[in-house]
């Protein structure tokens, strides 16, 4: 009989423990309102959600942050000194947006004691400016029209024809404070590129720098034809401004 009593008492304990979550839920619902409300979750399931809730929220925040950092790579480093000091990547320069090189600054130029020599294929920028081994070079002693001035395109293509297929030798004579250089440029057969362009009537001598070296090679009437280049030498830059203003008006029409 004692065995039966013990067995019954164990059954009673198991029954009471299984009913405990249900009684707890019913007691909670009775506290909220007078009507009986059945909860969709047991107390044990509610305890599990209380633990999983913060973990789920953390996962959502983590995924959102990773997605934002991928779409905006700078977000990761926006507060670091390295990111703030990193220069922006320069935009690629196309043929239509390429700016003309600034003129050589004679006031800040200095002669080189030991002359530097560059040699290689020449890329032509305009009639009196070429590039050898990624170094921009202004041809010594002459002035050719700018690329958008009258005869500017013709002067450029004449220089292209002269340099094509040849190794140009450039003996540097002067360098200004911006690193722009002036050089005497010659072809393999010894021809002076400055002299050749003047003889074609597509450039004029610049006595201020050449001391009249190419003046005798100028064709008759060339200074009237290349009047903008001549205006630069005589300091009449207002003629440049007027010409460029007229060109802009024509483009707007």
Whether 124 contacts 137, CB under 8 Å: no
Three-state secondary-structure class, residue 74: helix
Which residues touch 196 (CB under 8 Å, ≥6 apart)?
Answer: 162
For residue 1, give both structure tokens: 């009989």
DSSP state of 236: -
Q: What is the mean pLDDT of residues 181-199?
A: 96
Strands 181-186 and 135-139: parallel
Q: Kindly state whether residues 132 and 70 are assigned to the same domain.
A: no
> Residue 208 pLDDT more than 80?
yes
Q: Are residues 59 and 144 in the same domain?
A: no
- What does the DSSP assignment read for 115-144? --EEEE-EEEEETTEEEETTEEEEETTEE-
Query: What pLDDT score was predicted for residue 56?
Result: 75
Q: Is position 100 within any domain?
A: no
In a shared domain, residues 68 and 158 = no
- What pLDDT, on the 0 to 100 scale, is given for residue 223? 94
State yes or no: pLDDT of 78 exceeds 50: no
Q: What are phi and psi of 41, to 5 degrees?
A: -125, 150
Count of structural domains, the chain: 2
Question: Given this model, what pLDDT does residue 62 score?
Answer: 74
Judged by phi (left if over 0) then psi (alpha if -120 to 50, else beta), residue 212 lies in: left
CATH number at residue 115: 2.40.50.90
Can you tell me the mean pLDDT for 216-241?
A: 92
Evaluate whether residue 96 is within a structural domain: no
Q: Do 126 and 80 fall within a single domain?
A: no
What mean pLDDT do residues 165-186 have? 89
112-129 pLDDT per residue, tens: 555 789 999 999 999 999
pLDDT digits (tens, 9 = 90+) for 30-69: 444 444 445 454 555 555 556 666 777 777 777 776 666 5
Taking the C-alpha atoms of residue 160 and residue 55, their distance in angstroms, rounded to an integer, is 70
pLDDT of residue 157: 96
**What pairs with residue 69 in β-bridges?**
none
The answer on 80 and 24 residing in a single domain is yes
**For the packed helices 2-32 and 43-71, what is the interaxial angle rounded to 10 degrees?**
50
The token duo for 139 is 């041809």
- Domain assignment present for residue 240? The answer is yes
Give the structural domain span for 31: 18-86
pLDDT range class, residue 105, cuts 50, 70, 90: low
Residue 141 located in a structural domain: yes
- Helix, strand and coil in the chain, % to nearest 5: 50, 15, 35
Say yes or no to pLDDT of 18 above 90. Answer: no
Predicted TM-score of the model (pTM): 0.55
């Amino acid at each position: 009989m004692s065995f039966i009593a013990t067995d019954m008492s164990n059954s009673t304990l198991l029954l009471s423990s299984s009913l405990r979550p249900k009684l707890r839920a019913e007691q909670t619902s009775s506290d909220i309102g007078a009507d009986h409300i059945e909860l969709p979750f047991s107390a044990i399931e509610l305890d599990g959600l209380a633990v999983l809730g913060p973990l789920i929220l953390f996962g959502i925040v983590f995924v959102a942050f990773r997605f934002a950092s991928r779409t905006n790579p700078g977000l990761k480093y926006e507060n670091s000194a390295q990111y703030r000091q990193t220069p922006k990547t320069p935009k690629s320069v196309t043929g239509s947006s390429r700016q003309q090189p600034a003129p050589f600054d004679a006031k800040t130029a200095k002669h080189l004691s030991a002359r530097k020599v560059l040699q290689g294929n020449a890329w032509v920028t305009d009639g009196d400016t070429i590039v050898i081994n990624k170094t921009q070079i202004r041809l010594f002693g002459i002035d050719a029209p700018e690329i958008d001035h009258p005869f500017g395109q013709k002067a450029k293509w004449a220089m292209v024809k002269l340099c094509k297929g040849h190794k140009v030798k450039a003996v540097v004579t002067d360098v200004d404070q911006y690193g722009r250089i002036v050089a005497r440029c010659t072809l393999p057969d010894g021809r002076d590129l400055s002299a050749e362009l003047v003889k074609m009537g597509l450039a004029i001598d610049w006595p201020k720098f050449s001391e009249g070296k190419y003046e005798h090679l100028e064709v008759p009437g060339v200074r009237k034809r290349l009047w903008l280049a001549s205006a630069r030498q005589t300091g009449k830059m207002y003629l440049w401004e007027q010409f460029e203003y007229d060109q802009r008006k024509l483009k707007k029409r």
